Structure 1
Amino acid sequence: MADVLDLSGLNVDDLDLISEERGFQPDEDEPHKDFPPTDMILEVEGRDIHVNKQVLADNSPVFKAMFELEFTEKHKERISLTGKMYDDFVNFLYTFYYPGREDSITENTVLKIIPLAEEYQIPAVKVKCEIFLTEVCENSAKNEEKHIKTSTLLNYTSFAEQYNMDSVLPFAIPLCAKCPAESLKVAEIDTKLTADMRRRISELRNTLLENELKPTLTTGKLNLKAIELFWITLTSDEKKKFEDRLVRKCEERSYTPEPITITFDKLLECIIVAERFNLKNLLNAAIDLASKCSNSKLKDKEGYKNISESTKSKILRQRVEVLEYRLCRQNILVSEYNRDFNLVKK
């Protein structure tokens, strides 16, 4: 005899829990809990969404014309919306059907909602989406921890351009300009953005390169962020000249008693740059200099945690060699002193 599920004595919460555990799904034919039955049904992907005609007409001129003019839908109580996704349309309805509810606009839904707001001519929803995208891009521009994936950023920029969301572009374009050229290519910038938008990004990229990186190349002053952004755009000759300048700074400091040209922070940045871009001559020179520095002072700097364990080990090994040499040299000097002193005594 088949096992019988005994549901006696269980309350509603217990039944919900059992349903979740056994993978039971709600009946798709039942009305959505946020859209109870009224005077109109929208059928999307074969599922029903109960809505009120007047609410739709008050917000959308498209729905208003559909219900009030001589369209076939005027006297229907059920309208099938082809080419739409159920979840996307529900999130779209949330943005205006319930005043004040904006939680449906997220990074996962905003690009699905914008085309629907355009199709059904609801400017207020477009404005909400534009504000959301502007804030996301602005926050990313101000805070590196809120980084936007390159592919997502290009989508935001494309939609902002396509749907005339002008407040998004002043933040989105600079973010695109600071993306590595290869990542933009992989994210299909050529197909996602118009030629005019690609030109604007390219022009800004060149300006940033000129203003931020050229001083670094010509003076040897480190701007780690600029180097990371534009390294891929440099010629082999420019890369070599840049490395040579930093090598000279490390070597100059290494043989000078006073810290004339490079600080602990800049020394650590040299190591980070050398590791990141495989600059072997710079890495060797920086390790040599670091091995002669105070270990406690180096470790106290924020940049120390960003260098590799391999490089830290090399610095320590070389520091031991330096100390052994100094100790050996000191012993020799002491021995020579004692010898000379004994000769004087005689």
Structure 2
Amino acid sequence: MMARERKHRKLEEVMSDSQENEPYMYSGNLEEEPEPQSEEKPRPLFPQTDVILEVEGRPIHVNKQTLADSSPVFKRMFESDFKEKHMSTVPLPDKKYEDFEKFVFLIYNPGHQFQITNDTVIALLSLAVEYQVKAVQNRCESFLTSKLEQTKNHKMDHNDIPTLLSYAECTEKYDLQSISQLVVDLLARYDVKMLKQADVKDRVTGEVWTDILEKRNSLLTTCLANITGNGLAADVTATLELISSMEYGSPVKSNLMGKYESLLSNACKYYNRYNLTPHQLVHLIIAGERFELKTLLSSAIELASKAINFDSNMGRYHEISDRSKLKIAERKLHLQKYDPSSLQYI
């Protein structure tokens, strides 16, 4: 009996030592204990790869079926009787590694837009057309359209000409009709002499150059009609951009800008005659700031100070500088205190 008890105690001691030194074991009816988190290894950029594309001597590991499903060119390369079908490494000469890696990334990740930028869109579009990857081509075209629309609605910089020219060449090369008209409209805002100096005439087709000249002539005609007429221009910013795009120091530009600023300033002074609205007044303040038209800006701020219905809820109000907002607020407070009868709705 004593021997059995000693043997039992010895067994308990052994089991106790085992439980302290061995990993935790659990039965099916016990709650699972979380296992220690191991350091996760980075996943490959393109998982389940079975072929290497060699670009500029550097490997891009890809999956044949994934590329074949997205590109008829890759499909023929890997499934038809071409030598690439049996190659483990396929060299792609005359390609740039960084461009091609982004291109493959877009094939694998159609939901990611961040890879397309002003610097990469032309190269990616070229690859998309060459390899007939319609999804990537459509995204590149959408990116270009969006950028051109933004440029059309905001102040342009003369440095935009090389970018627009590259877009023009791209639209001609790949027959992107949905974009070509936007490019023509934007290039037409520049002075003809400036366009020639940027080699636009030499680098686009004669048909496109004619379209640019005809569009510019139409814009100038509209601009002059707006300035000499008795009403505000339909798009103040676009008209000012057109005038500003003329050759620097041109007497024609100076004369037109002066006349147009005078018209807009008079619209602030005789707002009832011009049916000026608070929203239009916001546009005039922004235009005065953007194009440094001091007379216009002063007239617009004065009217805004008197307008009871001029407030921060109007569209584009956030684009007005803090300095002008402060001037309006200070002037309005002064009028409320010393000349409240001058405050009125417009």
Q: TM-score range by the shorter chain?
A: 0.5 to 0.7
- Give the structure 1 partner of residue 227 of structure 2: 217
- Give the structure 2 partner of residue 59 of structure 1: 72
CA RMSD of aligned residues (A): 4.9
Which one of the candidate residues 284, 287, 290 is aligned to 1:276? 290
- Percent identity over the alignment? 27
| Corresponding position: 1:163 with 2:174 | yes
| Corresponding position: 1:298 with 2:310 | yes
Contact 1:133 1:168 in 2 (8 A): no
Which one of the candidate residues 240, 260, 266 is aligned to 1:242? 260
Q: Any residues of structure 2 matched to 1:254-333 within 5 Å, and which?
A: 259-265=272-278, 266-291=280-305, 293-294=306-307, 296-299=308-311, 302=314, 304-319=317-332, 326=339
SS in structure 2 opposite 1:42? strand
Q: Any residues of structure 2 matched to 1:170-189 within 5 Å, and which?
A: 170-177=181-188
SS in structure 2 opposite 1:43? strand
| Corresponding position: 1:226 with 2:244 | no
C-alpha distance in 2, partners of 1:300/1:52? 55
AA of the residue aligned to 1:160: T
Summarize the Cα distance change of 1:110–1:287 in structure 2 as closer, same or farther, 3 Å threshold.
closer
Report the CA distance between 1:236 and its aligned residue.
1.0
C-alpha distance in 2, partners of 1:153/1:262? 37
Report the CA distance between 1:142 and its aligned residue.
6.4
Contact 1:130 1:165 in 2 (8 A): no
AA of the residue aligned to 1:247: S
Report the CA distance between 1:300 and its aligned residue.
5.6
Report the CA distance between 1:298 and its aligned residue.
1.8
What is the TM-score with the length of structure 1 in the denominator? 0.59
Report the CA distance between 1:310 and its aligned residue.
3.2
Q: Deviations over 1:48-94 (max 9, x none)?
A: 345688986x93399759x857x8x7986544333433453345456
Which one of the candidate residues 131, 137, 141 is aligned to 2:138? 131
Summarize the Cα distance change of 1:177–1:322 in structure 2 as closer, same or farther, 3 Å threshold.
same
Summarize the Cα distance change of 1:262–1:139 in structure 2 as closer, same or farther, 3 Å threshold.
same
SS in structure 2 opposite 1:299? coil
Contact 1:246 1:282 in 2 (8 A): yes
SS in structure 2 opposite 1:241? helix
C-alpha distance in 2, partners of 1:117/1:319? 57
C-alpha distance in 1, partners of 2:317/2:89? 66
Report the CA distance between 1:152 and its aligned residue.
5.4
Report the CA distance between 1:221 and its aligned residue.
0.7
Structure 1, gaps ≥5 residues long: 1-8, 20-25, 254-258, 328-346
C-alpha distance in 2, partners of 1:312/1:128? 46
- Give the structure 2 partner of residue 207 of structure 1: 218
Contact 2:46 2:61 in 1 (8 A): no
- Give the structure 1 partner of residue 6 of structure 2: none
Report the CA distance between 1:238 and its aligned residue.
1.3
Report the CA distance between 1:218 and its aligned residue.
1.7
| Corresponding position: 1:107 with 2:116 | yes
More helix by share: 1
Q: Any residues of structure 2 matched to 1:20-99 within 5 Å, and which?
A: 33-34=46-47, 36-37=49-50, 41-49=52-60, 59-60=72-73, 64=77, 68=81, 77-93=88-104
Q: Deviations over 1:239-281 (max 9, x none)?
A: 112222333344445xxxxx34343424443333333222223
C-alpha distance in 2, partners of 1:283/1:111? 40
What number of residue pairs does the alignment pair up? Answer: 284
C-alpha distance in 2, partners of 1:252/1:47? 69
SS in structure 1 opposite 2:54? strand
AA of the residue aligned to 2:262: D
Contact 2:124 2:140 in 1 (8 A): no
